[in-house]
């Protein structure tokens, strides 16, 4: 019994020490963070463990640990994450979210943590080699993404129409089944999907377009301390080698 009380005391001491050392501006708050659910290698379900894993999950965990704040992660999809942040249901989102000027009107972003652009993707053996070949065709885009926004901006010029899908996997399947002639996806994500899931899809654009950085986001004007902690933690994990280790874990 004595041992038990000693243990409890030790735990309490460690906990209070942690509370003193931790960032004082979180007040023991558990932040609610939303993310995509099928966007490997950034966030995806690990079938074996039943847990969501990926580079975003690891980077966020490392930053939260470095900064000493608590959070719960909800992997609900990209459009759902944006909705949750804008409605105040979520404090922030990390979801391979591209930082754009347009989004800065409704989000505050932390420093970018990964650079990526988009590519045009077709089914293996397709005649389509570029946007020029899409006249009269439909292409698949993911709801609320920059790929979809880009497609909207060029669809009249090239004469295609757009079908929207909630998730990346549904979008790929639309191209695999031939429902749509092509899709637009982030380069690193479609590259990962083609390699690991053996999808019969080919990237036809030579270089990714709209290269930009992914950033952690909060609703504009809210949770400024979360942005500060993300930036401070990101700088620390870059400094101490954790960030490079995490990139290497996913082959970058
Ligand atoms: N990077 C893209 C965007 O921000 C796609 C993000 C995603 O599908 N999770 O729009």
What is the per-residue pLDDT across 151-184, written as a single tens digit (0 to 9) for each? 999 999 999 999 999 999 999 999 999 999 999 9
Average pLDDT over all residues of the chain = 92
- Model pLDDT, residue 8: 43
- Model pLDDT, residue 92: 98
**3-class DSSP assignment, residue 227:** helix
Phi, psi of 68 (to 5 degrees): 70, 35
Distance 208 CA to ligand 1 centre (A): 14
Atom of ligand 1 nearest to the CA of 103: 4
Distance 149 CA to ligand 1 centre (A): 11
Mean pLDDT of 55-77: 98
Question: How far is residue 167's CA from residue 128's CA, in Å, rounded to a whole number?
Answer: 23
CB contact at 8 A, 138 and 180: yes
**3-class DSSP assignment, residue 119:** strand
Strand segments (E) across the chain: 30-35, 38-39, 43-46, 51-53, 70-75, 92-93, 107-109, 114-123, 138-142, 161-165, 182-186, 201-203, 209-214, 217-219
Distance 244 CA to ligand 1 centre (A): 22
Mean pLDDT of 90-95: 98
- Model pLDDT, residue 27: 72
pTM of the model as a whole: 0.89
Task: List, in sequence order, every residue forming a beta bridge with 30; answer none if it has no partner.
Answer: 70
Question: Would the CB of 94 count as within 6 Å of ligand 1?
Answer: no
Question: Would the CB of 234 count as within 6 Å of ligand 1?
Answer: no
Question: Would the CB of 142 count as within 6 Å of ligand 1?
Answer: yes
- Model pLDDT, residue 28: 83
- Model pLDDT, residue 19: 41
């Amino acid at each position: 019994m004595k041992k038990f009380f000693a243990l409890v005391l030790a735990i309490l001491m460690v906990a209070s020490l942690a509370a003193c050392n931790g960032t004082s501006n979180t007040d023991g708050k558990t932040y609610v963070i939303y993310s995509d659910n099928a966007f490997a290698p950034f966030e995806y379900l690990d079938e074996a463990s039943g847990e969501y894993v990926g580079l975003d999950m690891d980077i966020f965990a490392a930053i939260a640990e470095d900064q000493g704040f608590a959070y719960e992660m909800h992997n609900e999809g990209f459009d759902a994450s944006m909705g949750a942040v804008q409605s105040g249901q979520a404090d922030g989102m990390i979801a391979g979210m591209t930082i754009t000027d347009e989004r800065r009107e409704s989000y505050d972003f932390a420093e970018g943590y990964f650079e990526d652009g988009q590519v045009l993707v077709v089914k293996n053996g397709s005649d389509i080699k570029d946007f020029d070949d899409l006249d009269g065709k439909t292409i698949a885009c993911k709801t609320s993404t920059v790929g979809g926004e880009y497609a909207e901006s060029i669809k009249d010029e090239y004469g295609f129409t757009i079908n929207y899908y909630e998730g990346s996997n549904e979008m790929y399947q639309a191209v695999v089944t031939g429902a749509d002639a092509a899709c637009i996806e982030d380069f690193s994500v479609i590259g990962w999907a083609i390699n690991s899931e053996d999808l019969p899809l080919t990237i036809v654009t030579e270089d990714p377009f709209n290269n930009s950085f992914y950033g952690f986001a909060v609703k504009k004007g809210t949770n400024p301390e979360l942005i500060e902690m993300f930036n401070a933690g990101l700088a620390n994990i870059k400094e101490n080698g954790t960030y490079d280790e995490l990139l290497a874990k996913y082959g970058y």
